[in-house]
Structure 1
Amino acid sequence: MKVSVEISKYPLTEADYVSAIQDFIDRVNTHSGIRVVTNLMSTQLFGDYDTVMNVLNKELKTSFEKHGTSVFVCKFIPGDLTEKYGQ
């Protein structure tokens, strides 16, 4: 099963919030087997459900441990929207 996830991160404790957001984006980009698309408002992950969820499990935990309190707003959509909309 494929999944598309849209994520926005809002660090609550970082004085330099941009670096906390960029750190998360950089880490998800190191994983193979998923497609990552970033724009000014969010980061989108596309791929196999289990692969994407394993990446999120690891990187959300790392973000909390490394940067403290953050809010992650996520949308999960079944299917790979890049296949449907050609992104």
Structure 2
Amino acid sequence: MQVMVELSLYPLVNEYIPPIQDFIDRLNSYSDITVTTCSTSTQVSGDYTVVMKVLGDEMQRTHEEVGQAIFVAKFLNFDAMQARKSS
């Protein structure tokens, strides 16, 4: 099963841009997920298990490095073959 997660990060620090950019850069280092960055959110898609593992690891790292931070996420599961047939 495939998943697409739309994610926004709000670090609760004065210098909030560097932690956001670092998080996005780390996501982009994974070759087995697709990352699309917009002005207010980042979309991560790929195999459900892989995406959830990556997000869990990277969100934990952000919390450890930054301290308090808010993540807002929307999850959409889909089967890529089913989505193509419906189009």
TM-score (norm 2): 0.88
- Give the greater-gyration-radius structure (CA): 2
1:40 alignment partner in structure 2: 39
TM-score (norm 1): 0.88
* Aligned residue-pair number: 83
Moved over 2 A (4+): none
Give the SS at the match of 1:36: strand
2:48 alignment partner in structure 1: 49
Q: CA deviation at 1:22?
A: 0.5
Q: CA deviation at 1:60?
A: 0.3
The Cα RMSD (Å) is 1.8
Q: C-alpha distance in 1, partners of 2:78/2:58? A: 22
Q: C-alpha distance in 2, partners of 1:43/1:49? A: 16
- Decide whether aligned partners of structure 1 residues 80 and 40 sit closer, same or farther in structure 2, where only a CA change above 3 A counts: farther
Q: CA deviation at 1:35?
A: 0.3
Q: Unaligned 5+ residue runs, structure 2?
A: none
